[in-house]
Amino acid sequence: MLPRDQIEELRAAVGADGLITEECQLQTYECDGLTNFRVLPGAVVLPRSTAEVQAVVRFCARHKIPFVSRGAGTGLSGGALPAEGGVVISLARMNRILDVDIANRYVVVEPGVINAHVTQRVAPEGYFYAPDPSSQSVCTIGGNVAENSGGAHCLKYGFTVTHTLALEVVLPSGEIAHLGSPTLDAPGYDLAGVFVGSEGTLGVATKITLRIVRRPEVVQTLLAAFGTPSAAGQTVSDIIAAGMLPSALEIMDALAIEAAEAAVHAHYPMCGGLLLVELDGPGDEVDALMREVRAIAERIGAAEIREAQSEAERALIWKGRKAAFAAMGRISPNYIVQDGVIPRTALPRVLSEIERMSSAVHLRVANVFHAGDGNLHPLVLYDRSIPGQEETALDLSYRILNLCVDCGGSITGEHGVGKEKQQALGYMFAEPDLETMQLVRCAFDPESLSNPDKVFPRPRLCADKPGPYTPHALEKSGVAEIF
Amino acid sequence: MSATATITREEALARLVGIAGVEHTQLDSSAICVSPASADQIAEILRFANEHGLSVVPTGSGSKLRWGNPVAPEIFLSPRRIRAVREHAWQDLTCTVEAGCTWAAMQADLARHGQMVALDPLWPQRATVGGVVATNDSGALRLRYGGLRDLIIGMTIVLADSTIAKTGGKVVKNVAGYDLHKLMTGSFGTLGVIASVNFRLHPVEQHARSWSFAAPDATRFAQPLRDLLHAQLALSAAQIRAGRDGCALDVRICTRPECLDNHAARLHAIFDSLPQTDASESVWQAREQLFASGDAVVTKASMLPTDLCATIAELMQSAAREGIGVSLVAHATGLTTIALSGSGDLAATLHVIEQLRARLRPSGGSMLVLQVPGVLRGQLDAWGCTSDALPLMREIKRRFDPNGVLNPGRFVGGI
């Protein structure tokens, strides 16, 4: 809890209805989607404007109080975990779409705008906002900018950074700076490019100019059932080698299919490796490419190939895929979501290694992956009530990340480093690399007030509890859902 | 040697010879030119220069050496010996290329597996990977594939204090740590020296066809261009060329061979009232011709796509009033290369530049001066940057290069 005079300063900055200090209300903000890390903030503010954000950040700078900005709290790496005794800046009330310029293909939004609402706003004009994290119906653009969120369709369309043209940010000093421009190649360093994906450590974005994309003429979705994930992976490699760039290439293994079926009845074929291929573009081109995809899948030995015949069928296929994490609750009491990336060609090797590692410790690992760009989401299933199993599961999940790095990949493709993977970042990057990143951090935030003690490795404290999923009270009561 | 140098040129030469070898270190009238053989040697050279306050300009072929504000360094650091395509993981559509490799040599290597870095910069036969990245050059393909920010997935850089740092990685999807490669791209060698770059790759465009449409005045293209970008065609590139002889709009379609005719028909429906011809593929290198005359002032303007046609028309008119010739190539993304020539009146040229900057600024546009005739060097700010992020940029520069030895003064705001 902050001292009374500081609370009064905050109240002056955001008004009485924009300030939360009651412990029972603060608890709502004690974690994000990585629910087993919990820290009670000193205060939560809900500003309505850039000026209010600036007043709060200036307050924090003056008193050297750490702050953490937060969108919808769906992040899976603890990026929005409060700093102990610090201020949480919830951008939920800054949720206006400020400008829509269809002809120049951009929109200007406040950070609390929900991802899917951007597409809803421009859909009547035939446009969409491309990054589509599974949580897109609730997650905010501000959070997407912090995490450089991806989604199933970033294989073709790119990530949040690809679609972020400009930012208005409140720097940790409280100054306002405008990074980038709605026009390309604004003079100066590409600070917008650096800010996106900095996980809230460089300041608070208060306005975001997003690129929107012309909706493709046709979208076709195909499911192909294989005996193993590796066969599905080979099909992915052959599709890419044929020079195609599908908008999505997803693989689920048998456990993931079982869970998704139990949760949303997507009518997936039961098989060892299910491949989802989505192609979009001009109608004639998509037809031709889809014939080629079918031929490749048949050659690799698909037992069944199915094309979505309607928008409803397509939506159901995606519903199953996007619910895959949450669905794990149907087949396991507890699970850890991981987010590693490997070169596509390493897929068979990594899958068999994960299989070997998991059977050695008698745990099940379900695999869901954005196969086109090698982004694996291994889900380590375990039962916390069995003594020692949580530690084993955690250890396994981190060893899988190390395996990804050893294969030339990354410890995170879209969930971010946050609190969860600080140490793993030290496995991926050498000290000179991390020190160079710190030069940027120090230029933006010399006092380390903005989301401190995240992303970069540090000596682990004994109180830390990394990793696994623990249901939040809101989730237990059915009010909220984890994506 | 500059006032900040703490060593004579002869001593510096001896040290650099010691690092890179006598055959790779030359003294010319103004500077020492040194070609290191590795990132480690780059680090040694920078450590030496940094310690002694010697300014360094990294330069590949020198094709864009005049872009930005003028710098007269003590050392030119050329990566021309560091030029291998080190890795081409063609099944993963990624590659790692050393900074001194020419763009064309890299593309030729990648083409063996039918792949490319989907970017068409100026002078690919000469321009090096490091130079293209440091200046953030891009061509007409940017409409379809994005710019270097979207194509670079990792980098190895050498800082002024000799730190060799890696950023990003070799996978396309990666959000671990800060993307320092985005900071380096377009930083004009003011933060560090690029040693190698990791790219994501695309398949080579095999079935492409280009068309040109003519009009006396760019405003005629405004509506068709808007319709073209809204149409769901397999568009690869689009640009407007304007000059003394009128205007042309070039369009490139790339799709499967069996679909080309259909797309061509749809394209022609959009431009039905304009005279049209099949264009030669060489129109996509038209930008290079704008630099041909050393007497021309050449600039890179950036504007909103909807501003393109009206801005071009106004520019042609106002330049004509001042007796200045204008040739330009405007990509559909809004990036426009403009050559102003034929006027002995420098004040008039500066006036046209300032007028255009003032017109572009309110909508976020900008103009960078790429080439100026000798008499104008130093007379105009190459960048015209008024961003409120300048203090932050200066602080980043100070952290990366505290002694200010890398390309001093070349960049925005005197960075």
Write the CATH number of the domain with boundaries B208-282: 3.30.70.260
Residues B84-105: what's their mean pLDDT? Answer: 96
Q: Which CATH number, 3.40.630.30, 3.40.50.10490, 3.30.465.10, 2.30.110.10, labels domain A1-215?
A: 3.30.465.10
pLDDT band of residue B350 (cuts 50, 70, 90) is confident
What's the mean pLDDT in A285-292? Answer: 95
Q: Looking at the predicted structure, is the pLDDT value of residue A483 above 70?
A: no
pLDDT at A460 over 70: no
Over the stretch A194-208, which tens digit does the pLDDT of each residue have? Answer: 999 999 999 999 999
Average pLDDT, chain A: 93
For residue B80, the model assigns a pLDDT of 92
Instruction: Kindly state the average pLDDT of the residues B105-109.
Output: 98
pLDDT exceeding 70 applies to what percent of chain A?
Answer: 95
Q: What confidence score (pLDDT) does residue A465 get? A: 41
Which A positions 36-95 lie with beta carbon below 8 A of chain B?
none
What pLDDT, on a 0 to 100 scale, did the predictor assign at position B30? Answer: 83
ipTM of the complex: 0.97
3-state secondary structure chain A: CCCHHHHHHHHHHHCHHHEECCHHHHHHHCCCCCCCCCCCCCEEECCCCHHHHHHHHHHHHHHCCCEEEECCCCCCCCCCCCCCCCEEEECCCCCCEEEEECCCCEEEECCCCEHHHHHHHHHHHCEECCCCCCCCCCCEHHHHHHHCCCCCCHHHHCCCHHHEEEEEEECCCCCEEEEECCCCCCCCCCHHHHHCCCCCCCCEEEEEEEECEECCCEEEEEEEEECCHHHHHHHHHHHHHCCCCCCEEEEEEHHHHHHHHHHHCCCCCCCCEEEEEEEEECHHHHHHHHHHHHHHHHHHCCCEEEECCCHHHHHHHHHHHHCHHHHHHHCCCEEEECCEECCHHHHHHHHHHHHHHHHHCCCEEEEEEEHHHCEEEEEEEECCCCCCHHHHHHHHHHHHHHHHHHCCCECCCCCCCCCCCHHHHHHHCCHHHHHHHHHHHHHHCCCCCECCCCCCCCCCCCCCCCCCCCCCHHHHCCCCCCC
Mutation target to probe the A interface, by most A beta carbons within 10 A, among B110, B173, B255 is B173
Quick one: pLDDT at residue A272? 94
Q: Please, which pLDDT band fits residue A1 given cuts at 50, 70 and 90?
A: confident
CA distance B4 to B408: 12
Q: Which of A240, A425, A234 is nearest to A340 (CA)?
A: A425
Task: Tell the CATH topology of B290-376.
Answer: Alpha-Beta Plaits (3.30.70)
Domain A218-319 has CATH 3.40.50.1100: no
Q: Which residues of A touch B368 (CB under 8 A)?
A: 185, 187
The predicted pLDDT at position B343 comes to 61
Q: Could you state, in order of their start, the residue ranges of all structural domains in chain A?
A: 1-215, 218-319, 332-415
Give CATH 3.30.70.600 domain extents, chain B: 290-376
Do A413 and A373 contact (CB within 8 A), yes or no? Answer: yes
Q: Which residues of A touch B136 (CB under 8 A)?
A: 185, 190
Given the candidates 3.20.20.10, 3.10.20.30, 3.40.50.970, 3.30.43.10, the CATH classification of the domain at B9-77 is 3.30.43.10
Q: What are phi and psi of B107, to 5 degrees?
A: -65, -40
CA A375, CA A347: separation in Å to the nearest integer? 10
CATH 3.30.43.10 spans which residues of chain B? 9-77
Per-residue pLDDT tens for A315-368?
Answer: 999 999 988 888 888 899 999 999 999 998 898 899 999 999 999 999 999 999
Burial (0-12, 13-18, 19+ Cβ within 10 Å), A217: middle
Over range A141-159, report the average pLDDT: 94
Which residues in chain A have Cβ-Cβ distances shorter than 8 Å to B262?
284
CB A180 within 8 A of CB B183: no
Query: Which of B178, B232, B256 is the closest to A217 by Cβ?
Result: B232
Q: At what angle do helices A347-360 and A389-406 cross, to 10 degrees?
A: 160
Across-strand partners of A209?
A108, A166
Identify the pLDDT of residue B244. Answer: 87
CATH number assigned to the domain covering A332-415: 3.30.70.2740
Residue A461's pLDDT is 36
As annotated, the residues of chain B forming the CATH 3.30.465.10 domain(s) are 85-203
* CATH of the structural domain B85-203, one choice from 3.30.465.10, 3.20.10.10, 1.10.1740.10, 1.10.20.10: 3.30.465.10
A207/A40 Cα distance (integer angstroms): 28
Contact predicate A39/A28, CB 8 Å: no
CB-based contact A242:A292 (threshold 8 Å): yes
**Taking Cα atoms as reference points, which of A71, A10, A74, A13 lies closest to residue A42?**
A10
Is A332-415 in the same CATH topology as A218-319?
yes
Under an 8 A CB cutoff, do A197 and B335 touch? no
Contact A443 B395 (CB under 8 A): yes
Higher pLDDT, A21 or B379: A21
- A459 contacts: CB under 8 Å, gap ≥ 6: none
Q: Which of A3, A60, A421, A420 is nearest to A69 (CA)?
A: A60
Q: How far apart (Å, rounded) are the C-alpha atoms in residues A354 and A349? A: 9
CB contact under 8 A, B159 and A217: no
Q: Tell me the shortest Cα–Cα distance from A182 to chain B, in angstroms.
A: 6
pLDDT value for A467: 47
pLDDT at A466: 42
Q: How far apart are CA B36 and CA B328, in angstroms?
A: 38
Predicted confidence at residue B3, as pLDDT, reads 62
- Chain segment A172-227, per-residue pLDDT in tens: 999 999 999 999 999 999 999 999 999 999 999 999 999 999 999 999 999 999 99
Sheet bearing A176-180, strands edge to edge: A97-101, A106-109, A204-211, A164-170, A176-180
CB contact under 8 A, A342 and B171: yes
Instruction: Encode pLDDT of A61-113 as tens digits.
Output: 999 999 999 999 999 999 999 999 999 999 999 999 999 999 999 999 999 99
In DSSP terms, A240 is beta-bridged to: none
Give dist(CA B5, CA B12) in Å, integer: 10
Q: Which residues pair with A208 in a beta bridge?
A: A109, A167
Which CA distances in Å does B212 have to A349, B240, B253?
A: 50, 9, 12
pLDDT of residue A20 exceeding 90, the answer is yes
Percent of chain A with pLDDT over 90: 87
* pLDDT range class, residue A464, cuts 50, 70, 90: very low
Alpha carbons B415 and B410: distance in angstroms, whole number: 6
- The per-residue pLDDT for range B314-349, each reduced to its tens digit, is 999 999 888 899 999 999 999 999 999 876 677 888
Q: What is the mean pLDDT of residues B73-79?
A: 96
| CA B140 to chain CA mean position, Å | 12
pLDDT of residue A472: 60
What's the pLDDT tens digit per position in A36-69?
899 999 999 999 999 999 999 999 999 999 999 9
Q: How does residue A478 score in pLDDT terms, banded at 50, 70 and 90?
A: low
Query: B29 to chain A nearest CA, in Å?
Result: 31
At B276 the pLDDT is 86
| CA nearest to B172 within chain A | A373
With beta carbons under 8 A apart, name residues in chain B contacting A104: 304-306
Q: Do B186 and A159 touch (CB under 8 A)?
A: no
Burial of B237 (0-12, 13-18, 19+ CB in 10 A): buried
Give the closest of A103, A343, A416 to B175, CB-based: A416
- Please tell me which residue of chain A has the smallest CA distance to B135: A185
Per the rule left: phi > 0, alpha: psi between -120 and 50, beta: everything else, B409 is left
**pLDDT, chain B, mean:** 94
Best probe of the A interface among B40, B119, B178, B396, by most A CBs < 10 A, is B178
Q: What's the confidence (pLDDT) of residue B147?
A: 97
Neighbouring C-alpha atoms within 13 Å toward the C-beta of B236: 24
> Using CB atoms, which residue from B114, B149, B300 is nearest to A190?
B149
CA B337 vs CA A302, B156, B284: distances in Å: 51, 30, 13
Would you state the structure tokens that stand for residue B146, as one six-digit string?
């994005």
* Residue-level pLDDT at B277: 80
pLDDT the model gives residue A405 = 97
